[in-house]
Amino acid sequence: MDRVRRLSKAFAFWHAPFLLLVAFLPFPTAVIGASIGNPMAQTLFAGTMAAMVCCEATVKEISVAAGLAVASPATIRHQADASWAVGLWFVLSGGLAWVLPYAYVMWFLAPVAAAYGGPLLGRVRARRAGPGA
């Protein structure tokens, strides 16, 4: 999703924390670089990434709900589902960092989480919406 017709207050509201998290990302990256085995460092990075992709997913959801996006709503929903899946993946890795010293290896599988978790979340969303939606 790279183009919108116009902005809404909700879109701008969720875009601001997304940009702040993007600007903050070099700090957790530097902390990870200094001590990758530290569970607090892994949790800081995973939490930042999870918050960032969840803000991205929320912006995508808002763009579809408010009719702001130029692209197909189905395509954007699919992308939002993939973003939600990656966000959940990072939350899971942040929790596992406290019991598994190499939980950061899960980050390399984030594209797999998007590829398989996104369609799974899409099916769950369709099932919850009901047959008439």
Residue 3, domain member (yes or no): no
Residue 19, domain member (yes or no): yes
**Taking the chain (133 residues) in consecutive chunks of 10 residues, what is each chunk's mean pLDDT?**
78 91 96 94 97 95 88 90 96 96 95 95 86 62
Query: How high is the pLDDT of residue 1?
Result: 54
**CA pair distance 76, 57, nearest whole angstrom:** 9
The pTM score is 0.89
Residue 101, domain member (yes or no): yes
Report how many domains make up the chain: 1
List the alpha helices (DSSP H) in 37-129. 39-65, 73-96, 110-112, 118-129
Residue 36, domain member (yes or no): yes
- Name the token pair of 131: 């047959």
What backbone torsions phi and psi does residue 130 show, to the nearest 5 degrees? 95, 170
| Structural domain that includes position 112 | 9-129
Query: How high is the pLDDT of residue 70?
Result: 85
DSSP code, position 42: H
Residue 2, domain member (yes or no): no
